[in-house]
């Protein structure tokens, strides 16, 4: 097992990409801390995993936009886990397609709080724990950080901030033996993706169109993105830091 006797905290770990990360790391022997505002989904996932390996998964119910709560959640889970080897800053939000003029400054401030400041604060809270293990940080950004996205200027900007932050923190944290990287997925087959499609007249056609944006002609599974994170958290990537790994199924090749 590639992460036996090690630990990971995943924000937004109860669903979608975060859930994929939790499942992948747990299957590789990790003890896992889930931070999520959905207490029911997080609890159900923890129960499922603890049924296969008791006392292996813990939950902190938290809205990552609440700075003090997020810090307390990271510290509390690190204490329960006994150490911290990896933090995955995955929690985030993608608002509906909206023109810049129609997306207020107040909306942008909240989106920035959720998508970027939660990453910033999560890292602040995790660094004292990661120094003890010479651990790793993985920030979940998006291909929109480098490609942009129609009517998603605000979202793309928050993801671009994550990438710049990742590179700068990698320089700062290197003195402590901590590696910091970002993962930039394209389209991922998550409940959120299906919920979006279900708002349209023809959900099946919409999902097919999204899948065909990748040259592989499909979306990623959450576990595929989780395996990229696992690579970045293990010694397999021991000479990799400050990188924005484009896990995009070749979408950028035919953009």
Calculate mean pLDDT across residues 232-255: 96
Query: d(Cα 69, Cα 207) in Å, to the nearest integer?
Result: 36
Per-residue confidence band for 66, with pLDDT thresholds at 50, 70 and 90: very high
Q: What percent of the chain has pLDDT over 90?
A: 94
Q: Give the whole-angstrom CA distance, residue 58 versus residue 45.
A: 10
Q: Is the pLDDT of residue 221 over 90?
A: yes
Write down the pLDDT at residue 200: 85
Predicted confidence band of residue 28 (pLDDT cuts 50, 70, 90): very high
Confidence of residue 255 (pLDDT cuts 50, 70, 90): low
Confidence category of residue 99, pLDDT binned at 50, 70, 90: very high
Mean pLDDT of 231-240: 99
The answer for residues whose C-beta is within 8 angstroms of residue 214's C-beta and 6 or more apart is: 186, 187, 248, 249, 250, 251
The pLDDT of residue 199: 82
97 vs 63, residue with greater confidence: 63
pLDDT range class, residue 39, cuts 50, 70, 90: very high
Angle at which helix 16-27 crosses helix 222-233, to 10 degrees, equals 50
Catalytic residue among 103, 116, 155, 165: 155
Determine the average pLDDT of the residues in 55-84.
Answer: 99
Query: How far apart, in Å, are the Cα atoms of 18 and each of 113, 225, 255?
Result: 18, 9, 26
**CA 119, CA 139: separation in Å to the nearest integer?**
7
Among residues 44, 59, 93, 89, the alpha carbon closest in space to that of 192 is found at: 93
Kindly tell me if the per-residue pLDDT of 113 is higher than 80.
Answer: yes
pLDDT of 195 reads 86
Residue in the structure block whose two tokens are 């990799």: 240
120 is catalytic: no
Q: Where in the chain is the domain with CATH 3.40.50.720?
A: 7-185+221-247
Q: Where are the beta strands (DSSP E) in the chain?
A: 7-11, 31-36, 57-61, 86-89, 136-140, 179-185, 244-247
Tell whether the model's pLDDT for residue 30 goes beyond 90.
yes
| Domain 7-185+221-247, CATH among 1.10.4160.10, 3.40.50.720, 3.30.70.1450, 3.40.190.170 | 3.40.50.720
Residue 48 pLDDT more than 70?
yes
Q: What is the pLDDT of residues 148-201, one digit of tens each?
A: 999 999 999 999 999 999 999 999 999 999 999 999 999 999 998 998 888 889
What are the DSSP calls for 110-134, one per residue?
Answer: HHHIIIIIHHHHHHHHHHHHHHHHT
Supply the pTM of this predicted model.
0.97
CA pair distance 31, 83, nearest whole angstrom: 10
Mean pLDDT of the chain: 97
93 in Cβ contact with 116 (< 8 Å): no
Predicted confidence at residue 43, as pLDDT, reads: 99
Compute the average pLDDT of residues 29-47: 99
Q: Which residues contact 159 (CB under 8 A, 6 or more apart)?
A: 115, 141, 142, 144, 145, 184
């Amino acid at each position: 097992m590639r992460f036996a006797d090690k630990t990971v905290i995943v924000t937004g770990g109860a669903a979608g990409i975060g859930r994929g990360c939790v499942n992948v790391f747990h299957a590789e022997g990790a003890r896992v801390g889930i931070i999520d505002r959905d207490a029911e989904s997080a609890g159900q996932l923890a129960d499922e995993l603890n049924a296969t390996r008791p006392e292996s998964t813990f939950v902190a119910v938290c809205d990552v936009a609440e700075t003090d709560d997020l810090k307390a959640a990271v510290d509390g889970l690190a204490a329960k886990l006994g150490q911290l080897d990896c933090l995955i800053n995955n929690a985030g939000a993608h608002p509906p397609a909206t023109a810049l003029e129609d997306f207020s400054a107040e909306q942008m401030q909240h989106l920035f709080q959720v998508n970027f400041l939660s990453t910033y604060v999560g890292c602040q809270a995790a660094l004292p724990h990661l120094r003890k293990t010479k651990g790793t940080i993985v920030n979940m950004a998006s291909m929109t950080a480098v490609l942009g996205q129609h009517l998603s200027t605000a979202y793309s900007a928050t993801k671009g901030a994550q990438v710049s932050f990742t590179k700068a923190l990698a320089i700062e944290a290197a003195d402590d033996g901590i590696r910091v990287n970002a993962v930039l997925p394209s389209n991922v087959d998550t409940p959120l993706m299906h919920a979006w499609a279900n708002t349209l007249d023809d959900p099946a056609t919409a999902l097919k169109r999204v899948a065909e944006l990748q040259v592989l002609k499909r979306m990623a599974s959450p576990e595929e993105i989780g395996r990229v994170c696992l690579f970045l958290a293990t010694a397999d990537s021991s000479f990799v830091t400050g990188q924005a790994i484009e896990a995009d199924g070749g979408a950028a090749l035919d953009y």
